[in-house]
Amino acid sequence: MERTLWDSIWQQFRQNKIGMVSGGILLIFCVVGLYAPLLASSKPLFVIYEGEPYFPLFRYLFHTRFYTKPIDIFFNLLMFTLPLALLIRKKTWTAILIAVQLFGFVYLTFRHSPDPTADIALTQERQEALKENPPISWAFDLRYMNTYAKLNRLIHYKLMKQREAKIPEDAPSLWKTEEENRNRLIETYQRIGDTESLQFLVDKKEWLEEKSQDLHLMIMPLISPFHWEDDAGGGQEYNRAVAWSQLARINGKDLTAALIFGIRISLVVGILAVSIAVLIGIPIGSLAGYFGGSFDIVVSRLLEIWESMPVFFMLLLFISIAQSKSIFLVISVIGLFSWTTFSRYIRAEVFKQRNLPYVEAAHAIGFKDSRILFSDILPNAIPPILTLLPFSIMGAITSEAALSFLGLGEEGSCSWGILMDEGRQVFPGESYLLWPPAILLTILLISIALVGDSLRDALDPKLRK
């Protein structure tokens, strides 16, 4: 059986051990980023409560007030559509799944997400009951809570209690803070003689302790029991007393969960920014290389002007003008000011291809220029451009991380650049917060660079037998 060009390229790539290892590391990053909720979340994958099975993590997977960033909603949906596309491998179904991904993302992002803990009927009943001025009691609150409202409180209580048992007694933690606040309220209510409020706290504590024992087969995410936006407590004294896997950021959120979800931001920035650059650069370069003449001269001058504007400084300019630190603004600016490299390369390839015999034959048959350019020349000119993709993705990720490190990244994000900026702010007192994101970013960039170098060698016809 005759091998195709792509079979030869893959065979050559496989012979490069460094490229294969780097590709494996890059694949691990992609899988971890894609399935981040299964690795770090405060919602169990599965739990049995009062004899009934529940799947809290999947119940909150598309809840926009739990996953507040659109990137997370996009990846949570991609967790299901991408495996289906890889398994089916049919163009029609792939197109359908892409449409489902895009329309589903828009719908899930902009719709009003119902809160699993909210129940309109119970809320109305509670409002009616409050008109009768009932006594303050925990039993009254419980009467108007749905199952997920109760389940969330019990899961939080049990997770905090389990976590407290794994950290040193002298380490300040969220559990100790909550207990101190509760004891302070009890002392206050005892001092002023507020027996109803005092009994409320006592009953609530007893209910949490008793009912948390009814949670069975609670399967938590594999690495961290915190969502990256959850408060994990902590501080400098706490970080110095716990293991590296339990470190907290300077804002009190879990560092491990933020590192895992930060992969998503790097992947989105790299892929989307380069996609924008490719969509702009390849058509312009193809037309310039094919038609040449005055059009080519105008395009070449445009490229020279556009390349004189550095991407990073244009990022700073647009952010200062727009007064916005949105990640999508960063992606758009990187894509809009990095397409010239693709345009130059594709122009040179098309210019070389247009004089080959198969193009002259196509002209002789009577094919239109558009058909010859996009159906015949472009497929043959694209492979050399593939070697640019990894390095362009690496540059886009570096630009976003550098911008975030300077404090100009999206606020409230878990970008590795922001994590490094937080580590810089407390350096050298808490230097251990700076190294994890810096090391992960370095490994990711080196892996992408080595894959790109191996891909360049695989595409070189001089190295293929």
- Say how many residues make up the chain: 465
Query: What is the β-pairing status of strands 52-54 and 46-49?
Result: antiparallel
Q: Give CA angle at 43 (38, 46), nearest 5°.
A: 75
Average pLDDT rounded to a whole number, residues 346-357:
86
Average pLDDT rounded to a whole number, residues 199-205:
90
366-382 pLDDT per residue, tens: 888 888 888 888 888 88
Model pLDDT, residue 460: 67
Q: In the numeric block, which tokens belong to residue 246?
A: 């339990």
Give 422's strand partners.
Answer: none
From the CB of residue 147, how many other CB atoms can be counted at a distance below 10 Å? 14
Q: pLDDT tier at 1 (50, 70, 90 boundaries)?
A: very low
Quick one: what percent of the chain has pLDDT higher than 90?
Answer: 31
Model pLDDT, residue 272: 92
Rounded to 10°, the helix 388-405/340-353 angle is: 170
Model pLDDT, residue 27: 94
| pTM of the complete model | 0.89
Integer CA distances (angstroms), 458 to 15, 248, 445, 447, in order: 9, 43, 20, 16
Q: pLDDT tier at 348 (50, 70, 90 boundaries)?
A: confident
Average pLDDT rounded to a whole number, residues 438-442:
93
121-150 pLDDT per residue, tens: 888 888 888 888 887 788 888 998 999 999
Q: Which residue has the higher pLDDT, 326 or 53?
A: 53
Model pLDDT, residue 37: 95
18-65 pLDDT per residue, tens: 989 999 999 999 999 999 999 999 999 999 998 899 999 999 999 988
Question: With 70 as the cut, is the pLDDT of residue 446 above it?
Answer: yes
E strand or H helix that includes residue 46:
strand 46-49
Look at 19-23, 52-56, 326-330, 457-461 and tell me which has the smallest mean pLDDT.
457-461
Model pLDDT, residue 352: 86
3-state secondary structure 383-423: HHHHCHHHHHHHHHHHHHHHHHHCCCCCCCCCCHHHHHHHH
257-295 pLDDT per residue, tens: 999 999 999 999 999 999 999 999 999 999 988 888 888
Question: With 80 as the cut, is the pLDDT of residue 255 above it?
Answer: yes
- Asked, as a colleague might, if the bond just before 428 is cis with ω within 30 of 0, I would say yes
Q: pLDDT tier at 3 (50, 70, 90 boundaries)?
A: low
144-154 pLDDT per residue, tens: 899 999 999 99
All structural domains of the chain, each given as residue ranges with its CATH number in brackets, are 5-34+255-463 (1.10.3720.10), 61-115 (no CATH), 120-246 (no CATH)
Residue pair 458/16 in contact (Cβ under 8 Å)? The answer is yes
Residue pair 241/168 in contact (Cβ under 8 Å)? The answer is yes
Which is nearest to 426 in space by CA: 240, 246, 148? 240
Distance CA 165, CA 306 (A): 59
77-91 pLDDT per residue, tens: 999 999 998 888 788
Model pLDDT, residue 137: 86
Q: Give CA angle at 167 (162, 171), nearest 5°.
A: 125
Residue pair 310/369 in contact (Cβ under 8 Å)? The answer is no
Model pLDDT, residue 5: 65
Query: What is the β-pairing status of strands 215-219 and 46-49?
Result: antiparallel
Give 48's strand partners.
Answer: 53, 216
Distance CA 24, CA 47 (A): 34
Model pLDDT, residue 462: 59
Distance CA 80, CA 97 (A): 10
Q: Average pLDDT of the chain?
A: 86
Question: With 50 as the cut, is the pLDDT of residue 412 above it?
Answer: yes
